[in-house]
Each structure stands twice: as C-alpha cells, then as structure tokens.
Structure 1
Amino acid sequence: MHMSDQREIAAPVAEVWAALLSADTLLACVPGAKEVTGNAEEGFEATVVQKVGPVKATFKGKVELSNLVEGQSLTLTGEGKGGAAGFAKGGADVTLAESETGTLLTYEVEAKVGGKLAQLGSRLIDGFAKKMADQFFTNFQSALEGPAEAEEDSADAAEEAGEKKGLFKRLTGG
C-alpha cells in the first residue's frame, strides 16, 4: 500500500527537523503509542496499541532513520510485531522545504501487513493505514504549531501574553 501527501507547518525547518528526531515528539504524535525510547542515531523502540477492525493488538517494534540530509530529508523504516494479530512494516520518505509560512513537509509512505491483519481485507487495511498516517502528521503539525484555535483572538492573546504554543516548544523549552 502506497500513499503520499504534504503538510504546511507554521514552524521553521530546523524546528520541524528536530521534532522528527525526538522520541518525546514521536510518543506524542504516533496514534496509540504507549512508549517510545531511543534516539535518531541508534533508532527508536516503540510500543503501540491499535485496533484494526475487530483485531486489537499491542505492537512492539523498532523504527530506524536513514538517508538523513540535515534539515532536508530522511527515511523512517519500521516494523512492529503484534503477536497473533500479525505484523506491520513500512517506511516513509520525508522531505522538508522552506515555505512562505514555515515548512512544507512532504511524505511518501509504503506499508505492508501480515497475519490476521492481512485477512481483514485490503480496503480496511488501506483505510486504516491512511488514517494512521494522516493522524500522525496532524498530531505532528499540532505539536509544532499548537492546537488549532477556534478564535484567532485567543491565539493572539496567548502570543501577546508570552505563552508558548506547541508540544515541541514545551518539551524543548524553545
């Protein structure tokens, strides 16, 4: 299964890059993540609980980063085993580019599943994989930008009061 998309993130490229390499940010952004440990150099280990159709499983896996071109692109490759439910593996090529409002993040994702999960049918699996990718990048965007404000006035007031927005900024104190 293959999918691609892009996101406009209102944050500088350097901040987006640092967030992609942060275990804390990944923990906050991966849907169902219960634990993410490790670092960009050695890879990350993760525990993720997900329900796909009638199958609920705890996946334990590893994510490795490769093809790192600082501030420009990287490849995330991961595999998770969910016991009797089966396995999921895949990767994402992520590129960053400066834009008028911050950073344009583009991604291409390739994913495969096996075991009981594969028996659920490709439409269900493809829909779930797309939802997971969309949810991750939505969470990632919110972590950097802060939650979308219903009223611009409250966002402006928060900025004027000097409040920090975005999970990544809170985690890094930046």
Structure 2
Amino acid sequence: MELQNSRVLPVAQDVVWVALNDPGVLQQCIPGCESLDRVDAHTFTVAMTASVGPVKARFTGKLTLSDVIPPKSYTLHFDGQGGAAGFGKGQAAVTLHKQGVSETVLAYEANAQVGGKLAQVGSRLIDGAARKLADDFFTRFAAIVAPGALAAGEGVPSDRDATTGRGAEAGSVASTGLPLPRKWQHRWWVWALMAILAIAAIVIGNHVR
C-alpha cells in the first residue's frame, strides 16, 4: 500500500527543530505513545497502543534511518510487532522545507504492509483511524510549539496526564522557549521523529494487498 501526504505546520523551522529535540514533547503528541527512545544515531525504538475498530494492540517497533541529507530529507524504515493483533513494516521518504517566514512543510511518500487481525479490518475503519491519528498528532504538536504556548509555558497533556488533569512536565520545550543551540544545527536525526506518526498511521491503517 502506498501513501503520499504533506502537512503545513504554522511555526518557523527553527522552532520545530527545538521541539523535535525534546522526546517528552513528541511523546505528548503521539496518541497512545508509551515510550520513545534513541538507541544510536540511526535507530530509535517506540512503543504505542492503537485501536482500529474492534482491534486494539500495543505495538513495539524499531525505526532506522538511511539516505540522510541533513536537514532536508531521509528515508525512514519501520518494523513493528503488535502481538496477536498483527505486525507491520514499511518505509517512508520524508522531506522538510520552509514555507515563508513562519511555516514548515513536512511531506512524505510511504509504503507499508500489515498482517494478522489488522489486515482483516474494514477499509472505512482503517482510513478513519489513520486520519484521526495523524490529525491528533499535528494538533497537539502545533499547540505545544505555538508562540503563545512558548511564552506562557503551556503544553498539551499526554494521554496519561489527560486522565489526571496534569499538564506537561516541566523541562519540555514548551516551558523553555530558548533560542536554538548552535550544537543542534547538525543533529539531523531529530527530524526523523516527526515521521513516526506518519509511519505508525500507515502501518496500522492499511491492509496487505
């Protein structure tokens, strides 16, 4: 299954860059995300829970980067397991660029396949779940990096915090709003985290052809 899409984030590229260096911010933005860890310069692990119709699964997966052209593009490979619910694997070519002074565009071309119970879910439920997953991510991320949130020290509660009424933990980018450190300018790997949601949505949201 192949998928192409793009999103416009209403914030400048340097602000997006700072936020992407904060795993705590990203974990708040990914619905159902339990953990997000960097293994090395090219590899990440992620654990998340997702529901598609009657199927609910906890996915654990590995993300690997290749064909990196910092900070413009790269290819992201995903391999995940959801236990009895099924498995998923795929890859996406991701690009980022500025649009005007205060917007950033993320675009991706991806293909993926799944097996198990996830491959048996109806296409309407699958498409709806994938769209909601992506919309929730970008809504949360934009809210966190918005100028007002940076100035006020506000954040978006994680899934866990939403049930307790607690806000974002102190120390996230939303509570700092610091200038972009020079040493981060060559950390191209942070851009890859932005594509986790896209890959996860494709993997749980498309059946094997």
TM-score by length of 1: 0.74
Give 5+ residue unaligned stretches, structure 2: 157-171, 179-209
Q: Give the 3 Å change call, closer, same or farther, for CA 79–109 of structure 1 in structure 2.
A: same
Question: Cα deviation per residue 1:103-131 (whole Å; 9 max; x = unaligned)?
Answer: 22222333321101101133432332333
Query: Alpha-carbon deviation of 1:43?
Result: 1.6
Quote the Cα distance in structure 2 between the aligned partners of 1:72 and 1:166: 27
Quote the Cα distance in structure 1 between the aligned partners of 2:67 and 2:18: 15
The residue number in structure 2 matching 1:150 is none
Query: How many equivalent residue pairs?
Result: 162
Q: In the alignment, residue 131 of structure 2 is paired with which amino acid?
A: K
Which one scores higher on RCO, CA 8 angstroms, separation ≥ 6? 2
Structure 2 SS opposite 1:31: coil
Quote the Cα distance in structure 1 between the aligned partners of 2:78 and 2:175: 24
Query: Alpha-carbon deviation of 1:45?
Result: 1.0
Percent of aligned pairs with the same residue?
A: 43
Matched, 1:124 2:125: yes
The residue number in structure 2 matching 1:2 is 2
Give 5+ residue unaligned stretches, structure 1: 147-154
Structure 1 SS opposite 2:97: strand
Query: Alpha-carbon deviation of 1:6?
Result: 2.3
1:163 maps to which of 152, 172, 176: 152
The residue number in structure 1 matching 2:202 is none
Quote the Cα distance in structure 1 between the aligned partners of 2:128 and 2:65: 25
Structure 2 SS opposite 1:133: helix
Structure 1 SS opposite 2:41: coil
Q: Give the 3 Å change call, closer, same or farther, for CA 10–130 of structure 1 in structure 2.
A: closer
Alpha-carbon contact 1:8-1:104 (below 8 Å) kept: yes
**RMSD, aligned CA:** 2.9
Relative to its length, the structure with more strand (as a share) is 1
Alignment of 1:19-168 (within 5 A): 19-20=19-20, 22-38=22-38, 41-100=41-100, 101-145=102-146, 155=148, 162-164=151-153
Query: Alpha-carbon deviation of 1:30?
Result: 1.9
